[in-house]
Amino acid sequence: MGVRPAGDVDYESAGGHYATVRRPEPRFAARVRRAIGGASSLVNVGAGAGSYEPDDVVVTAVEPSASMRSQRAVHLVPAIDAVAEDLPFADRTFDAALASVTVHQWRDLGRGLRELRRVTRGPVVVLTFDPEPLGRFWLGEYAPELMARESGRMPPIGRITGILGGTAEVETVPIPADCVDGFAEAYFGRPEAFLDDRVRRAQSAWRFVDDETERRSVAALRAGLADGSWDRRHGELLSAPEYRGALRMVVAHPA
């Protein structure tokens, strides 16, 4: 029997639309590739459907959810059924490590990050969201319970860098207006996307509000779009080429 998923969302039931909505954004992928530099081997922990795995290095993918493993493209390596907190590899096995929009799912952040550092000789790259700016995203005006819960799940950036140790660079990653990775802020200028159940199902935050709260939130947004109040508050985002919100890339180098 495989290891049970370790996160706060059960992707066996919640991950069905993930691969179609949460596609890798090429501009983020290019940043990840630059961050790992000359690495020839990479461990991708919390690999999910395989977003941001470079195609020119030897990748070892780790993903505890069978549903997510089944959505990996045929050209990607099969993922190992294991969890971040107990990686089945020897010390310093890999040139680099990647954890892409996953650390907030781990049951024991400290143990998982220390495992990443243990098995990696070079940079550890973490794509994540800074909780404070995430909590200010406009969706909170219509779904306050959702955004409060979502921002509360995200570990502070300083905690991540502190656990990884060594030296770390933290970059704010601009989100393009046509971002194809469908996390919440990706739709900063496409608010109608949140009316689509398929989009919401691919965003784990919606699993933390009950059905009535979700219906109320969607109805409030629909009304705001219909009466023009969303445009009056946030209409400048409709033509913005990018959004500098909560998305961060941490690149931690060993001491």
Please give the pLDDT value at position 21: 78
| Model confidence pLDDT, tens digit, residues 201-234 | 999 899 999 999 999 999 999 999 999 999 999 9
Asked whether the predicted pLDDT for residue 235 surpasses 70, the reply is yes
Please give the pLDDT value at position 22: 82
Asked whether the predicted pLDDT for residue 242 surpasses 60, the reply is yes
Per cent of the chain over pLDDT 90 is 87
Please give the pLDDT value at position 15: 45
Asked whether the predicted pLDDT for residue 156 surpasses 50, the reply is yes
Asked whether the predicted pLDDT for residue 190 surpasses 90, the reply is yes
Structural contact between residues 249 and 126, judged by C-beta atoms closer than 8 angstroms: yes
Shortest CA distance to 95 belongs to which of 56, 146, 39, 136? 39
Please give the pLDDT value at position 20: 75
User: Does 179 reside within a domain?
Assistant: yes
* Lowest mean pLDDT across 70-79, 124-133, 138-147, 239-248: 70-79
User: Does 22 reside within a domain?
Assistant: yes
Q: How confident is the model at residue 18 (pLDDT cuts 50, 70, 90)?
A: low
Residue 207 sits in a domain whose CATH number is: 3.40.50.150
Residue 163, helix vs strand vs coil? helix
| Model confidence pLDDT, tens digit, residues 72-106 | 989 999 999 999 999 999 999 999 999 999 999 99
Q: How confident is the model at residue 2 (pLDDT cuts 50, 70, 90)?
A: very low
Please give the pLDDT value at position 3: 34
Residue range 48-75: average pLDDT? 93
Strand partners, 45: 62
Residue 154, helix vs strand vs coil? coil
User: Does 2 reside within a domain?
Assistant: no
Mean pLDDT value across the chain? 92
The parent domain of residue 215 ranges over 11-253
pTM of the model: 0.91
Helix (H) or strand (E) holding 125: strand 124-129
Q: How confident is the model at residue 19 (pLDDT cuts 50, 70, 90)?
A: low
The total number of structural domains that make up the chain? 1
- What sign has the CA pseudo-torsion 251, 160, 116, 15? negative
Residue range 102-131: average pLDDT? 97
User: Does 75 reside within a domain?
Assistant: yes
Please give the pLDDT value at position 6: 38
User: Does 201 reside within a domain?
Assistant: yes
User: Does 42 reside within a domain?
Assistant: yes
User: Does 3 reside within a domain?
Assistant: no
Shortest CA distance to 246 belongs to which of 144, 118, 121, 152? 152
User: Does 183 reside within a domain?
Assistant: yes
